[in-house]
Amino acid sequence: MKHTFTLEYWLDDGWYVGKLKEIPGVFSQGETIRELEENIEDAYRLIMEDEVHVNHPPSQTKDILVEVA
């Protein structure tokens, strides 16, 4: 199954560093954009693999309003 995510990336000391905006905690880096894309896919797969092996009660969601000064 394929999913589409938003890769947010930036240059840091010559490395492309990025994260998936929709999945907190999925970060990676690469010497090129393509390498970053490959590495972020691997990071996502590892996170999802861990989720499958964790037994926790079903989660719920709730929209909240956060005021920013």
State the Cα torsion 37-39-44-48 to the nearest 10°: 140
What is the maximum span of the chain, computed from C-alpha positions, in angstroms? 43
Q: In what order do the strands lie in the sheet with 15-20?
A: 7-12, 15-20, 27-30
Most confident of 1-5, 18-22, 58-62: 18-22
What is the CATH number for 61?
3.30.160
pLDDT band with cut points at 50, 70 and 90 for residue 52: low
Number of domains the chain contains = 1
Alpha-carbon Rg for the chain, nearest whole angstrom, is: 15
What is the C-alpha separation between 21 and 68, in angstroms, rounded?
20
pLDDT band with cut points at 50, 70 and 90 for residue 49: confident
- 12 is in which domain, residue-wise? 1-69
What pLDDT, on a 0 to 100 scale, did the predictor assign at position 42?
Answer: 96
Which pair of structure tokens corresponds to residue 30? 């690469």
